[in-house]
Amino acid sequence: MNTDENVIIITGEKGCRVHHIGRVLATLPNVYWYSNEHNGKQPWNIASAKTSNIRQRKIAPKHFDRILPNGDRLPPMWDVISEYFPSQEEYLRTIFFPSVEKARRQTSKTLVFTSHKPPFYLRQYFGTIPTINVLYDAKRAVKRRLSTSANFPGYYRLKGIVDESNPYLIYLESLKKQKKDFTQKDLWAQKTHKTFWKDEYSKEYEDYLTFQMNKNLEIRKMPFQNVHNVDMDKIDWKSTKNFLQNFLKVSQDSFNDLEVMSL
């Protein structure tokens, strides 16, 4: 992919408000919003989480799925479902990029994707696509992750993307038979202790996340021209607007509205 693809990537660690930023950007007139009753007809319809069938929204109301007008769901970035697809190249070539090309026939607006991979890794496959990179204080970021994405469902069927014979899906199905609504914390516990989550694992899990997020933060700080850094706790929308104006053809008034909508 290249800058002609009309794509913006927002990348941050899990729990670092990437979907919040995505909703704010989707208020711009030429950025596509995945309008749906379960996402919210408009990006600011946060209260729609109460009636949404998107399970993550019960925990983090600003979460959204990539739903197109015909009901199709754009597949996630590889890092989100890497357990299902050991080969990143094959996943991008056979599933992700063809789906993005198909979406081009439904909208000419810029598509927003979220990722958890630092820009250094994204450049290999996405070149100079404009990227908003979320930096953070690891202690606060881990605290928020523990209250949000760590409690997201551990089971994702991904029908239409993942075949029934997929080994990782079969593994998840086996866990589901033992605990119907297992979470991401349960998956970590299974990999680490071969059991489902126990409160006694809390300190170990927090230390693990803190180590990983501190390590990734150093990689995220590597500078690239197509990457704009924002702080998870206080986004500088003025500098973000200046960055986006290099890629999006919208009026200054629209960017002023962006700042208002972010409040």
Higher pLDDT, 259 or 49: 49
d(CA 142, CA 210): 6
pLDDT above 50 for 163: yes
The verdict on pTM exceeding 0.95 is no
- The confidence band for 160, taking pLDDT boundaries of 50, 70 and 90, is confident
The residue extents of the domains of the chain are 3-261
Contact criterion met (CB below 8 Å) for 189 and 195: yes
Averaged pLDDT for residues 60-67: 95
pLDDT above 70 for 47: yes
Q: Over the chain, what is the mean pLDDT? A: 91
Averaged pLDDT for residues 34-46: 96
Q: Which pLDDT value is given to residue 259?
A: 60
Range with lowest mean pLDDT among 2-16, 89-103, 118-132, 189-203: 2-16
Q: Which pLDDT value is given to residue 213?
A: 96
Q: Which pLDDT value is given to residue 2?
A: 53
pLDDT above 70 covers a percentage of the chain that reads 92
Q: Which pLDDT value is given to residue 196?
A: 98
Q: Which pLDDT value is given to residue 263?
A: 44
pLDDT above 90 for 112: yes
- The confidence band for 4, taking pLDDT boundaries of 50, 70 and 90, is low
Higher pLDDT, 104 or 75: 75
- The confidence band for 70, taking pLDDT boundaries of 50, 70 and 90, is confident
Q: Give strand pairing partners of 230.
A: 134
Write the pLDDT tens digit of every residue in 165-191: 999 999 999 999 999 999 999 999 999
We find that the CATH architecture of domain 3-261 is: 3-Layer(aba) Sandwich (3.40)
